[in-house]
Amino acid sequence: MNAAAADMPHRPWLGATKRLSALGPILALLALISIGSLLSDSFLSAGNLSNLLTRSAIVGIIAIGATYVITAGGLDLSVGSMSALIAGLVIMGMNAAGSSLGDSWLVVLIGIVLALALGVVAGTLNGILVVKGGIDAFIVTLGTMGIFRSVITWLSDGGSISLSSSLKGVARPLYYGSVAGVSYPLIAMIFLAVGAELVLRRARIGRHVTAIGSNPEVARYSAIRVHRVRILTYVFQGVCVALATMIYVPRLGAATPSTGLLWELEAIAAVIIGGTALKGGFGRIWGSIVGVLILGLIDNILNLTALASPYLNGAFQGIIIIIAVYLQKGRREV
């Protein structure tokens, strides 16, 4: 899909500029931070940054999974709906558990385990349909996106499924708690990101993910279990969605049919802004995290500064995203 880049001759000897291009997303991030701090005094306050980072963790964690899926040459459009469905089911499960076990941490633990199990199931469903069904990932996940969203709408009767208010108090720290000023969601995202980056670069499975995205034929001819690896990327995406959902649920304590709407677009955009190739074969987790932060920052800055008509927020977002990606691509092709 990165058409223009493919048209260009490969010029890998451009070592210096390449390294510059790797910094592209970071440059964009820094530029946004400077703009933010110029336009608003409150931008650099600890409170604002902490808010921003903590809420970015939700899509951030999803984007980590998306990086794997996309690096392996796949795509998952169902993440937002999946999150909504998992949120709904987990809340129902926790309420049920809470009514017999009382308001204990155990219930939260049950919730987490349940979420992970659901994530694995949903991810496996996507993966199996793509791999064994031989159906285009776009179509499969567009389909499951509709299915998941419908089921949560149906379960919630169009309204919301709420965590019982006593359990809400117990689960609250999952989002609002912090250690040494660093919120739990942020810690979770950082750990997951570091782990995922390490695995992607240094573990066998990570290299296979990259290899099948780079050239699925090679992978097959090299006795890599292509199908298994590809399914695993969707399963991992499901696990990431489950984790993100377990951060999301305690925040407001409810799941609605609009939960997670358009998260898939946000996650994919973040991954690509971060420098991962949409056609597969190259991925970097840290880039995706930077991409999520860029997207979060744009919203934040637009909220903090009353730039123009809020009607035009979308236009600013669009322009900034294009520029952010231009910063890296542009350089790559000097």
Ligand X SMILES: Nc1ncnc2c1ncn2[C@@H]1O[C@H](COP(=O)(O)OP(=O)(O)OP(=O)(O)O)[C@@H](O)[C@H]1O
Q: What is the DSSP letter of 10?
A: P
Cβ at position 14, least distance to ligand X in Å: 9
Q: Which helix (H) or strand (E) holds 178?
A: strand 178-179
Find which of its own copies, other proteins, ligand X, none residue 202 binds, CB within 5 to 8 Å per kind. other proteins
Number of residues that bind other proteins (CB under 8 A): 71
The span from the CA of 187 to the CA of 193, in Å, is 10
Among 40, 254, 85, 27, which residue's Cα sits nearest to residue 163?
A: 254
Residue 96 or 308 with smaller CB distance to other proteins: 308
73, interface contact from other proteins, ligand X, its own copies, none, CB < 5-8 Å by kind: its own copies
The reply to whether 19 sits near other proteins by the rule CB under 8 A is: no
Which of 275, 208, 285, 291 lies closest to 5 in space, CA to CA? 275
Q: Taking the CA atoms of the chain, what radius of gyration do you get in angstroms?
A: 20
CA dihedral 277, 281, 287, 293 (to 10 degrees): 50
Binding mask 170-209 for other proteins (x = CB under 8 A): ------x---------------------x---xxxx-xx-
Token pair belonging to 61: 């964690």
Residues 323, 117: Cα–Cα separation, whole Å: 39
Q: Could you say which residues in the range 270-309 bind other proteins, by CB under 8 A?
A: 281-282, 299-300, 302-304, 306, 309
- Tell me: does residue 261 bind other proteins (CB under 8 A): yes
The interface partner of residue 55, options being its own copies, ligand X, other proteins, none and the CB cut-off 5 to 8 Å by kind, is: other proteins
Measured at the CA of 293, the angle between CA 287 and CA 299, to 5 degrees, comes to 145
Number of residues that bind ligand X (CB under 6 A): 3
Cβ-proximal residues to 172 (8 Å cutoff; 6+ apart), any chain: 250
Nearer residue to other proteins within complex by CB, 75 or 125 = 75
Rule CB under 8 A: which residues touch its own copies? 1-8, 72-75, 129-140, 142-147, 149-151, 153-154, 157-158, 212, 216-217, 220, 226-227, 230, 265, 268-269, 272-273, 278-280, 309, 311-319, 321-322, 325-326, 329-330, 332-333
| Of 171, 179, 176, the residue nearest 246 (C-alpha) | 171
Site for other proteins in 22-81 (CB under 8 A): 40, 42-43, 45, 47-48, 51, 55, 58
136 touches other proteins by CB under 8 A? no
Residues 292, 56 contacting (CB under 8 angstroms): yes
Residues 1-40 that bind ligand X (CB under 6 A): 10, 12-13
DSSP label at residue 137: H
Burial of 179 per CB tally in 10 Å (0-12, 13-18, 19+): exposed
Does residue 14 belong to the site contacting other proteins (CB under 8 A)?
yes
Measured from the CB of residue 281, what is the shortest distance to ligand X in angstroms?
A: 16
* Cβ at position 239, least distance to other proteins in Å: 18
Which residue's CB is nearer to other proteins, number 100 or number 309?
309
Name the residues that contact ligand X, by CB under 6 A: 10, 12-13
